[in-house]
Structure 1
């Protein structure tokens, strides 16, 4: 039953007994004071919350996890943590001199803002001497795949000639080790192959790269304050725009690309701040305008506004206490709460306006049973959003339910105490009261048939055009330009995607390394054909023990033969090799404990007694067909699993969309049975408007090319819980114009709230708002059309 129906029914049928006729009872005064104390505590918590700004922009925090996806989420968080405070800027030009000059101009423009963005010198941050000292004892057991293949087929005589040439050749640059320690020259080639993993190299003391016909300078900055604030005023974007204008000054060939997690966080916070203001304050303004037009008094405006303010504050506090952090999407969604929570205040003042001789406490006592029942149905409808194990949906459900309860308690406890004076009828309230009698009814007449035919002609083609989309990226609302910049930076730098990787598990660290090597061997052909650029893997820097032993055996024999031949050729000793223990190997714990592992340490996962795991990132993975080859190769190696987090989460969204669709159907059947039990053959009049409205809203999504997704289905579930109320009310009170006034005002404000939610730039919230806007609007229009011609009194029910 709708809130208005239950309120009207309670107001007419529930006399006040056993309580003071006009004044507040002692219990009512105690409850008002107790609520005041809770509101004071709520105010204190709000001050603490907004000062700490415990807001979340991480899309993954909204999504469900399983034992499998929890590991993937942990990997994503670790990969993101390393760059969560970094912004990279690529300054490019057709030639190096222009790129270098433009980069200098950018740096000079950004320098005064060093308190916001601190420059990071990537070249100076890598200590090559320390790395060489760490790896040198294991020099003879570190080989590349090409070196290994060459040595297996090498002729000792040919190697000796090359070694002799190297011995007499004057070095044109610094040498990593002396000739005696590395007569074949393997050590330097191994380091060159490690350097080739990244496209960035040192040039004139700067981090540089060549790509897409331009020379680029890489500038890295670290932010000095949180990645976002509730207002979005972190100013990173402003600093970068200032630098970009300086870099491009006087040179049209300069191109600047800026990317990084802080920029997305800043954009999300700024957009959420804008949407909260538009939706929240817009809804509030619309509600207060409706209240003014209906009552022409400041008292209802002030008190209804107070109930909305307390309801929203309580919702934020409860969500923060339960979930620790409040997601920005929850705040944007919760801003539409204003359009629902005001119903309680409007119902109270409509009843006060219609009963000028009744005191406020009396009005509240008569309304309380119906309002409490109305609250329970609305809270259940919102909590139904939390059925699916989505942390984000549960946040939204809790936010809305708590906000409704707090607004309701404010109305019940404080309105009778604070409301003084009378309310006179206004032109709007009188017109709304009389409007129900003028509303047409459906029948077999020509007009009804034409209207039903027009509705069918709109719905059928619209349903045909509906497109289903379960892409998890619909939860992301970053500006397209920022997303494109991120893609461009990733393409230029050859950065692997953190959302697609190989997860390698094993019972020991060495087994994990061996399995990494096995999957790399399985994909060697894919890399050779250029379908994949390569890998970012720990085993590139710490080979497995078996691989190190095999490589050491291979190099020792050939190096001994080369030394012997060169010694005979020069007629004397040529130096002795390093006296390294043949069984000594580089271990993963030793590597992890050394600073040399800092940049790759995040690829290692110690699962706390449940075994070990590592992450292999793939470079140059830009062809969907390659994914099938990677999955096939991973399936051949025990303990290796291909993880595509975007595809996994999108599949999960699809699963729950289908599940919620079936639950929605089951819910509609349950409602139909309940209506049939109460109203018999007249029950269709309450259900059909809601079903038609649901189909109408889906068809409208098709016409507007808004994809049908999980949030659309959740909106339909909420529509079922809310929309049927209108039909029930009109079956219970087909001629009650005063209660119709309350339901029209409440529905109008709800439409405004969800209509503003449809303006959200987040596709999921946009789809939810569009579905609710069209659905509630349609059921509001259709319900009185299907009302009975005469009052219908169900069996066992009397007014």
Structure 2
């Protein structure tokens, strides 16, 4: 047959154009928020929504070390001065606080001091109370600080302003040294920053981190070292690692597959032909995922690139089974029934992955299913004419003595029970433990997690995994509920259930509370009489406390301070993380400190349905358990449907038994190996095993297919071996990734597909004496 590859070249060019347009129009998402679930109740939905874009995700903790304390303090102050004027940061704290640098905040707090001060004694304007306050003022005026103290002391003799300032100081455990925060146990200066951008805005977070490093460099740090941690740091680093993994996998997978295919076929035209279904399957998969999920995650794309070795199985099987000069329909008549069964059962095997309810994993399943179906359709309806026009066939396709000798090993297939029984014994002795904590597969490196714990412990920041959420229709409703809960938490603190709490009501009382405090202020005549009695016998001039009377009179007519009144002040960033509005109302966050008895806390808060005590770890565990059960349920249904398809398609009890036994043996031994590794069986392993199940069915169906002759048997072994090498090598590459999720997928699939080939060859294949049968 005369070779005419023009049609093939045109098809490859069109496929490349389609793929280029798709890749250019569909950007990849690389933040792990795309892999988080939506939640199945109010608490989990709130938690994961805040993890994606809440204010907690924008916190950055900073450490400066490896220099003398005085030098570390100097660097900290220089960075604080530089970053405080950077609009990319809403909060820059290092322990130093000067009201002179916050004139607007100082004026607001001083004006509203009698409405904001939590200590009721600062509003006790009886004559005896004022007498004691005036005596303290006199002592202060006689000190060396008289010029600075005089104006403030006479206007605020009860110390309401200082009481407000004390209540607003961050409750941290860091020690104050050289005027800035230091870790309690080492010479490490500490800072706490919050960015204005959301934590998952990776470009803005990268710019903010660059600004921190630039401020550190501008402080001339010499040998001092800068440490950065927090959710925003993790998000940027994880995205960087994931992007590097994707680029590495794309290049290495392509090189490996091209190398294996060229070694097998010794033809660049074969590579061109196989490129058509691969490019089209990858393009269609990206479009389908984008339409179904709104975005394509980088992990799904990386998974798709490793699918390179699987989606190419179908064109490799078609070319590998063709004899030179054979017509377009002849090869298909031999392999099409098995290929259609393999595709159908493989997609049904992905049911649990697609319908598990987790967006990221559902993307993996949808990407795989769409890619496999597209590759199969292209192979069945487009590829035959292309490969016939180019006259593509294996360079070696006849019978093989070594392969024939290898097939004789099937006489000893009974020995396959040994690894199966061994795996069963391992599973009995060391049962597989189901992992219900998805954080075990977090992309954050262990060293980064340890640093974050260390910096948080040094600052004494409340544990972010535990919080109490208050929901209301308005900020006033949230603040009033928090004030209602104050005595409840006080009782819990006395019981030792927790050490303390941090909430918005400590920063800004409700308008009802401010009105109540304002009502306690006496009118001017009553206050004037009390002042007169209190200063009797004290060396104050008449009218010395006139400004004090004027401020109290003004406070009696103040409108309550609201969150809007704090906008633009340095206090707004402190209030923002604790009181904020979302689409479904207003939310308040109460952060408990040093939780000892979570059960007691939940019991104490049970009477209020609008108050949700949440434990992030518990919520993740419950959610993972829920989705694991959902995955197993859909997987069982998918396997049941695949079994029905096999029964209908094979219509041969012997072949059906060989296929099922081969796949079952591979899955049992794979479970045994996972148990030996001591790695808990996570949801990621379950979905990976579903993929292995689909590939194993492919191999078993083709091994069990009736063969025309010895040459056909040899072609089957060669093509399946080629497919297996590509799959094992491309998925094994994932073991080199930084992302734990990709590593576990790679390890499980590469090991499982190798087992599938071995057991498929031994258990699903026919004995050599039965080679002269007719194809179905």
TM-score for the superposition, normalised by structure 2: 0.81
- 1:194 equivalent among 164, 168, 184: 168
- 1:413 equivalent among 382, 395, 411: 382
- Counterpart check, 1:76 vs 2:51: yes
Q: 1:318-717 to 2 correspondence within 5 Å?
A: 318-320=288-290, 322-352=292-322, 355-359=323-327, 371=339, 374-382=342-350, 384-408=352-376, 411=379, 412-413=381-382, 416-417=385-386, 420-421=390-391, 423=393, 425-426=395-396, 430=400, 434=404, 437-441=407-411, 448=414, 451-465=416-430, 466-527=432-493, 532-554=498-520, 556=522, 563-570=531-538, 572-573=542-543, 574-575=545-546, 576-578=549-551, 579-580=553-554, 582=556, 584-591=558-565, 593=567, 595=569, 596-608=571-583, 611-618=585-592, 620-621=593-594, 625-668=596-639, 671=642, 678-680=651-653, 683-717=656-690
Could you tell me how far apart the structure 1 residues matched to 2:270 and 2:98 are? 64
Q: Secondary structure at the match of 1:706?
A: coil
In structure 2, relative to structure 1, the CA distance for the partners of 1:416 and 1:732 (3 Å cut) is: closer
Q: Secondary structure at the match of 1:440?
A: helix
In structure 2, relative to structure 1, the CA distance for the partners of 1:132 and 1:429 (3 Å cut) is: farther
In structure 2, relative to structure 1, the CA distance for the partners of 1:689 and 1:395 (3 Å cut) is: same
- 1:772 equivalent among 713, 732, 749: 749
CA drift of 1:103 comes to 5.5
Could you tell me how far apart the structure 1 residues matched to 2:133 and 2:315 are? 92
CA drift of 1:490 comes to 1.9
TM-score for the superposition, normalised by structure 1: 0.79
CA drift of 1:540 comes to 1.2
Could you tell me how far apart the structure 2 residues matched to 1:333 and 1:125 are? 53
CA contact (8 A) 2:342 2:697 kept: no
CA contact (8 A) 1:290 1:745 kept: yes
CA drift of 1:561 comes to 7.5
CA contact (8 A) 2:324 2:393 kept: yes
In structure 2, relative to structure 1, the CA distance for the partners of 1:121 and 1:731 (3 Å cut) is: closer
CA drift of 1:346 comes to 0.8
Could you tell me how far apart the structure 1 residues matched to 2:140 and 2:531 are? 16
Q: Secondary structure at the match of 2:410?
A: coil
Could you tell me how far apart the structure 1 residues matched to 2:762 and 2:358 are? 38
Could you tell me how far apart the structure 1 residues matched to 2:291 and 2:195 are? 31
Aligned residues: 743
Could you tell me how far apart the structure 2 residues matched to 1:106 and 1:431 are? 75
Q: Which moved more, 1:286-295 or 1:93-102?
A: 93-102
Counterpart in the other structure of 1:64: 38
Q: Any unmatched runs of 5+ in structure 1?
A: 1-20
CA contact (8 A) 1:35 1:413 kept: no
In structure 2, relative to structure 1, the CA distance for the partners of 1:219 and 1:174 (3 Å cut) is: farther
Q: Could you report, residue by residue, the CA deviation over 1:739-777 in whole angstroms, capped at 9, with x for unpaired residues? A: 333223223322223333344443333333333333322
Could you tell me how far apart the structure 2 residues matched to 1:742 and 1:93 are? 60
CA drift of 1:701 comes to 0.9
CA drift of 1:106 comes to 9.2
Q: Secondary structure at the match of 2:652?
A: helix
Q: Could you report, residue by residue, the CA deviation over 1:117-142 in whole angstroms, capped at 9, with x for unpaired residues? A: 99996579985321132233432222
Could you tell me how far apart the structure 2 residues matched to 1:179 and 1:282 are? 73
CA contact (8 A) 1:59 1:476 kept: no
CA contact (8 A) 2:229 2:452 kept: yes
Could you tell me how far apart the structure 1 residues matched to 2:55 and 2:587 are? 18
- Counterpart check, 1:129 vs 2:103: yes
Could you tell me how far apart the structure 1 residues matched to 2:266 and 2:12 are? 28
CA contact (8 A) 2:111 2:555 kept: no
- Counterpart check, 1:721 vs 2:687: no
CA drift of 1:328 comes to 2.7
Q: Could you report, residue by residue, the CA deviation over 1:507-563 in whole angstroms, capped at 9, with x for unpaired residues? A: 443232121123232122444677645433221122123432443445649977752
CA contact (8 A) 1:315 1:398 kept: yes
